Structure formats: structure tokens, C-alpha cells
Structure 1
Amino acid sequence: MKKNEYAIIVAGGKGTRMKSTVPKQFMLLNGLPVLIRTLNTFFSYSKDLNVILVLPDNDLITWQNQCEQYGFDKPVILAPGGDTRFQSVKNGLDKIKDPEGIVAIHDGVRPLVSQDIIGASFHLAAVHGSAVAAVRLKESIRKTDQHKTKAVDRSEYRLIQTPQTFDLKIIKPAYQIKEEPSLTDDASVVEKSGHEISLFEGSYNNLKITTPEDIVIAEALLKS
């Protein structure tokens, strides 16, 4: 029997690197807000998906206004954002009362994620317990310290993306551990709690909207 599927969309960015007063999740991308684009793709993957949207309280009015303006009426469960991503994800997980299921955790500012990647993450997490999207490095990298640099083998490294998808029996207990600065994503939390992480092939198109250049690139990808 197929387990229930959940998605936690984390949208707590402030847009500081965007040099904008508008949080990046609410910026327009080819005429549609970034966050609504992200959510639409998840609902296109499955109408039965249970979607939890994590938003800071002071962004709720902006969110409600954009829903009305752009006709977004799909059912989402709202969870309050925390001071850190760790706390925000934990708040989202607290909204899930089902003892069994699979949950994909995704950045609200990755609007170009594909339905295929979402589907693959759920399928693989059901088999392996975890499925984290990742891509290979395109460029050479070097390790640095205060005094010297050293070339390293880029084939041994991956750039980590979202969705990061897990069995609820793994991810919910994992988020009971103490928060630390080194826990920068969900995979690091699960790994810290004693589980191995399974990676799968993401996409270079699945970029995170962080800087003004990212909006330009994302618009070009949409047009192509």
C-alpha cells in the first residue's frame, strides 16, 4: 500500500542578497510569484499531495494578497516560520500527525523543480528511507586555508539541492536532536541522527533564487 505523501515548502527568506525590500519568494518570475510557481509544480505532480507551507507570520498578509491577485486557491496547511531553517522545518513537521508517510522538504525559492524530480524523490525515499537531489560540480574546486590552497577531486563532491525527501519515521525523530550551526539542511540533520543519506540526480535547472542574476537565469530557462 502506498504511503501518504507530504511536502513541506519552506519560504522564510528575506531577500537580503537580492538587494530588495520584497522577500525573494514573493518576487515575480515571468509574471508569477516565485512561491506560487513552486507550489503549482508540486500540485501538478499530485492532486493528492498534502502541502505544508512554512511562512513567517509577518509575511502572511503578503501571501494572502498574492493568492487573491494571482488566483491561487489550492489547499495548503500553513505553519509558522522559525528563526532558522531548522526551526522552520521542525514547525512544518509538527503539522504532520500521520505516523507513516513520505515527506519532501523543498525550498520555496526553487521554482523550476520538475515533476519528474519530485516523483523520483518520493519513489526513492520509499525504498531507501531518504532521497536527496544533488548535481555534479561543473568546475574545478580548491580547498583553502589562511596560508595555501590545494586542488581536490571534484568528482568526489556534489552540490546539494532540494527536494530532500524522507520516510516520516526517520525525519521526525531526527528533528528532535539539538540544533547546531553545522546542520545546514535536512540531510545533515538526518545524518547527524545516525542515518545514511541516499543521493539522486537533480538538475542544473533546479536553481535556488538567491541573487538578482538568478531571476534573469530563471526567466531565460522558462522562456526556453
Structure 2
Amino acid sequence: MNESRLPTSSAPQYPRYAIIVAGGSGTRMGTDRPKQFLELAGEPVLLHTLRRFAAPALGIRELILVLPAEQLGTWQELCGQYGISIPHTVVAGGATRWASVRAGLNQLAGADPGVVAVHDGVRPLTPPGVIEATYQAARNHGAAVAAVVPKDSVRNLSQQGSYALNRARLRLVQTPQCFDLDLLRRAYQLPELSTFTDDASVVEDLHPISLVEGDYRNLKITTPEDLFVAEALLRMRDSVTD
């Protein structure tokens, strides 16, 4: 696993950007409150996520947060309530994740060439080492995605029943997903397809996707159980750093 801390070093020699996409609802959480606004250790999940990308050692030039238009006011209220002062630009997203990422890219229309990360707003525990490694891999290879080996056995469904898959050859894809900025722009100029599940699937017809070792702590908060696990992981981290 990548270490959670970054070595102190000079700023990267190329521009870095980040698009945080937070368009979820609270349906699977069993609440009316969007999951990115739920409290994790006394603060909104989304604040934890922003803080990860605002780390000075990462040297991110512009941090863009994409939210549904109807949630912009709520986020503004939360910024006041929790004293959120992390510099970031808020953009209204679209009806799909694809449209929301494209809205974030439009905010970078005049940006210098560099590497852009796209990250789920409800992945608040991404270790800085994973973020750094994914940026560096995208700088070297054009497109890079954090991923982990499945812990459980995996079976594929078929008309005859099911059959086992070799999990050593499978990866569970996480975010961040980092790309050369121009490459991601070109990919998002193509029509949206129903087969797109993430940014790597948007890009892969134009460019190979490199995989970076992710981290099992980099969970995506989707159900109430995920929130409990995230709370426990934060307590473990705090007990180690105390």
C-alpha cells in the first residue's frame, strides 16, 4: 500500500488540476441528505475529500468541485457553518457523471497543459501517496487509474450458471483517475455512451490506461456500513498520529 504521508519536496514541474465530482444522493444511505454532505468525524464527507487534494505537497493548481445545481446553496451554507476556507471553484454539474466531469473540464478551458485528476467526492480517505503516484503515472504514461486486487473470489454469470474468474488478473477500480489534460478533453468531445462507467472507460479507446496500486482504505461511501468503516479508519489514523 502507498504510505499515507507524502515526502516534503518541491512543487511538481508541471501543472496539476483536480476535479472532484459529488453528484450522489442519499438513497442507498437511507437518508434524504446527499451522502457527500453527511458528517464523518464531525465534518462533511466532502470536506475530508477536498482536504486530501488541498495538501500543499501535491501542488494542485486548481481544485474544482462539481455539484448538482440544486445542491450549490447547501454547500455554500456548509462552507459557512464549518468555516471551510480551502480554495476551490464550484461548478454546476449535469444529469450524468459524464456530463458533470465535462462541466468541470469546461472550467479548465484556458488552463496550461498538465495533468488532471478526477475523483469521487465520497472517497474521503484516499492516502496522499496514492494521489501522488497516480499523478506521476499519468505524467509518464498519459492516463493512470488507482486500482486494487479483489480480496474475494469472483464469479461471472452465464446462461449455464456461473464460472470462476482469476482474480489475480482482475482489478477493482478506484479514483483518483489522472490524465493528460488535452487527452481527457479530446475524450470528452466524443459522444456519451451508456457503457461509460468511469473516466478510464471514456478515455480507453483513445489511449491505454496504466494502473497504479490503490489502497483498500480508499473506500467509496455508498451505504451506511461504509460510513461506519470510514469512522473506524479515521479513529485508527488519529490514534497512530497522537
Q: Same fold (TM over 0.5)?
A: yes
**CA deviation string 1:149-178 (max 9, x = no partner):** 111111111000000000112111001111
Structure 1 position 80, deviation (Å): 1.1
Aligned counterparts of 1:151 and 1:126: Cα–Cα separation in 2: 36
Q: Choose the corresponding residue for 2:143, options 126, 130, 142.
A: 130
Question: 1:46 aligns to what?
Answer: 58
Counterpart of 1:197 (choices 192, 209, 216) is 209
Query: 2:87 & 2:25 partners in 1: Cα distance?
Result: 24
Q: What is the aligned partner in structure 2 of residue 121 from structure 1?
A: 134
Query: Of the candidates 83, 91, 100, which is equivalent to residue 95 of structure 2?
Result: 83
Give the counterpart of 1:218 among 230, 238, 241: 230
Shift of 1:46: 3.5
CA-CA distance at 1:78 after TM superposition: 1.4
> Is residue 2:181 matched to residue 1:161?
no
Give the Cα separation in 2 of the matches to 1:23 and 1:147: 40
Q: Greater CA deviation, 139-148 or 183-192?
A: 139-148
Cα RMSD of the aligned pairs, angstroms, is: 1.2
* 2:165 match: 152
**By how many angstroms is 1:122 displaced?**
1.2
Residue by residue, what CA displacement relative to the aligned partner does 1:63-112 show, whole Å, maximum 9, x if unpaired? 01111111111211111111000000000001102241110000000000
Deviation of 1:145 after TM superposition, in Å, equals: 2.5
- Indicate which of 117, 121, 125 corresponds to 1:104: 117
Q: Among residues 83, 91, 99, which one is paired with 1:71 in the alignment?
A: 83
Distance 1:12-1:126 versus aligned 2 partners, 3 A rule: same
Structure 2 Cα separation of the partners of residues 145 and 31 of structure 1: 45
CA distance in 2, matches of 1:56, 1:148: 40
Question: Number of paired residues?
Answer: 223
Normalised to the residue count of structure 1, the TM-score between the two structures is 0.96
What corresponds to 2:3 in structure 1?
none
Cα pair 2:143 2:207 within 8 Å, conserved: no
Could you tell me which residue of structure 1 aligns to residue 38 of structure 2? 27
| Aligned-partner Cα distance in 2 for 1:17–1:146 | 29
CA distance in 2, matches of 1:136, 1:48: 28
Quote the sequence identity (%): 51
1:48 offset after TM fit, Å?
Answer: 4.6
- Give per-residue Cα distances to partners, 1:106-156, cap 9 Å, x unaligned: 000000001111111111111111110000011111111244111111111
Report if the CA contact (8 A) 1:99-1:169 is conserved.
no
| Pair 1:15 & 2:21 matched | no
Structure 1 gap segments, 5+ residues each: none
> Contact 2:145–2:173 at 8 Å: present in 1 too?
yes
Which amino acid letter does the alignment assign opposite residue 185 of structure 1?
D
TM-score in terms of structure 2 length: 0.89
Counterpart residue type for residue 63 of structure 1? W
Amino acid at match of 2:127: S
Which amino acid in the other structure matches residue 32 of structure 1?
A: E
Q: Which amino acid aligns with 1:73?
A: S
Distance 1:126 1:105 in 2: 14
